[in-house]
C-alpha cells in the first residue's frame, strides 16, 4: 500500500514520539518528547525518562556540576520547518546540543494516524502521534534580545505553547554537550553551558504557565509576556540568583495573529 506524504499545513499541533530506532539498531521508547508545530515555526524538547530531583534548585546558580551533567543529556531545538517537495527539514536556529555534522532532514509519511519519520543523512526512524486538542490559534514570534544578540522563539498552538532561548556562552569543543560540560574548568562555566531554555506549558486566561523545561527551576513559572509594541515584547524570567527579571526582546519575524501571544489577551 502506498503511504501518503503529509503537507506541512497538516502537521500543526503537539506531537509525542512513541519510538526512536537508532542507526545501530537500538530503540528508545521512554524519552519524553514534545514537538510543537505551528504554521512554519516549531519547538522540540526531549528529556530522559529517568528524572533527577531538582526540588532544591531555584536558579541557575544553584545547579551543581552533577546537575549540569544530567541536564546536558537533554535535547531540544527550535526554528523553521518546511519541505522542498521531496524532503522535510527542521532548520535549527536554536539548539540545546552543539551543532551536528548533518542537517535535520528526513521523510515523513502517514501510517494510519501515526506519522513515520526516516532520516536522510542518518539512518534513524521515529514514530509520532499527535495529541488531541485545538490547533488554532497558531502564532509565533522570532525574537532577539534588545541590546544583545541572544535569540528566542515563542510559539503558541491552541492551548499550549513552547518557548526557546539560546545560551549566551557557546560550546567551544566538538561533540556532545555532555562532553563540553565535563571539560568545563568551573561549575560556573558548566552552568552557562546548560543555560539554554526550552520550555513547554499551557495557556489559560491571562496565563502562560510552564509545566516542563530544560531548566527545571522554570517549571511552575508564568511567562507574563507583553507585546510592548508592534516591534517589541517583554517576558518574565529568573536572574542567575533566582530574582524575577524582565527580559526585553525585539521582534525579528512573526507568523499568525500574534496578539494571541500577549498574556493579557487570554484565550
CA distance 163 to 214: 11
Q: Band of the pLDDT at 265, cuts 50, 70, 90?
A: confident
Ordered DSSP codes for 226-256: EEEETTEEEEEEE-TTS-EEEEEEEEEEEEE
> In this structure, is residue 1 part of a structural domain?
no
* CATH number for the domain harbouring residue 154: 2.40.128.280
Q: Is 51 exposed, middle or buried (0-12, 13-18, 19+ CB in 10 A)?
A: exposed
pLDDT digits (tens, 9 = 90+) for 83-111: 998 899 999 999 999 998 899 999 999 99
Asked whether the predicted pLDDT for residue 9 surpasses 80, the reply is: yes
Consecutive H or E run containing 27: strand 27-28
At 23, phi and psi to the nearest 5?
-60, -25
Asked whether the predicted pLDDT for residue 258 surpasses 70, the reply is: yes
> In this structure, is residue 2 part of a structural domain?
no
Candidates 43, 65, 82, 89; CA nearest to 214 is: 43
Structural domain count, the chain:
1
At 67, phi and psi to the nearest 5?
-60, -45
State the residue range of the domain holding 201: 8-265
CA distance 202 to 219: 11
Number of other residues whose CB lies within 10 A of the CB of residue 128: 18
138 pairs with which residues across the strands?
Answer: 157
Can you give the pTM of this predicted structure?
Answer: 0.97
What pLDDT is recorded for position 1? 52
> In this structure, is residue 255 part of a structural domain?
yes
Asked whether the predicted pLDDT for residue 266 surpasses 70, the reply is: no
Amino acid at each position: 500500500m502506498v503511504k501518503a506524504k503529509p503537507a506541512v499545513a497538516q502537521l500543526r499541533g503537539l506531537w509525542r514520539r512513541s519510538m526512536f530506532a537508532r542507526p545501530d539498531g537500538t530503540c528508545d521508547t521512554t524519552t519524553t518528547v514534545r514537538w510543537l508545530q505551528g504554521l512554519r515555526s516549531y519547538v522540540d524538547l526531549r528529556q530522559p525518562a529517568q528524572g533527577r530531583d531538582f526540588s532544591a534548585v531555584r536558579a541557575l546558580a544553584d545547579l551543581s556540576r552533577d546537575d549540569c551533567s544530567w541536564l546536558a543529556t537533554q535535547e531540544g531545538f527550535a526554528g523553521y520547518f518546511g519541505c522542498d517537495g521531496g524532503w522535510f527539514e527542521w532548520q535549527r536556529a536554536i539548539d540545546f546540543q552543539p551543532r551536528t555534522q548533518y542537517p535535520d532532514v528526513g521523510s515523513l509519511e502517514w501510517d494510519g494516524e501515526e506519522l513515520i519519520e526516516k532520516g536522510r543523512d542518518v539512518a534513524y526512524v521515529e514514530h509520532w502521534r499527535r495529541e488531541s486538542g485545538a490547533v488554532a490559534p497558531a502564532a509565533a514570534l522570532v525574537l532577539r534580545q534588545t541590546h544583545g544578540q541572544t535569540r528566542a522563539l515563542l510559539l503558541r498552538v491552541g492551548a499550549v505553547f513552547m518557548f526557546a532561548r539560546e545560551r549566551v556562552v557557546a560550546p567551544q569543543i566538538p561533540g556532545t554537550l555532555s562532553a563540553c560540560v565535563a571539560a568545563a574548568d568551573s561549575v560556573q562555566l558548566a552552568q552557562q553551558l546548560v543555560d539554554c531554555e526550552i520550555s513547554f506549558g499551557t495557556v489559560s486566561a491571562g496565563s502562560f504557565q510552564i509545566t516542563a523545561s530544560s531548566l527545571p527551576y522554570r517549571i511552575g513559572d508564568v511567562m507574563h509576556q507583553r507585546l510592548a509594541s508592534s516591534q517589541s515584547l517583554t517576558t518574565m524570567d529568573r536572574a542567575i540568583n533566582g530574582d524575577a527579571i524582565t527580559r526585553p526582546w525585539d521582534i525579528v519575524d512573526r507568523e499568525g495573529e500574534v496578539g494571541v501571544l500577549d498574556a493579557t489577551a487570554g484565550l
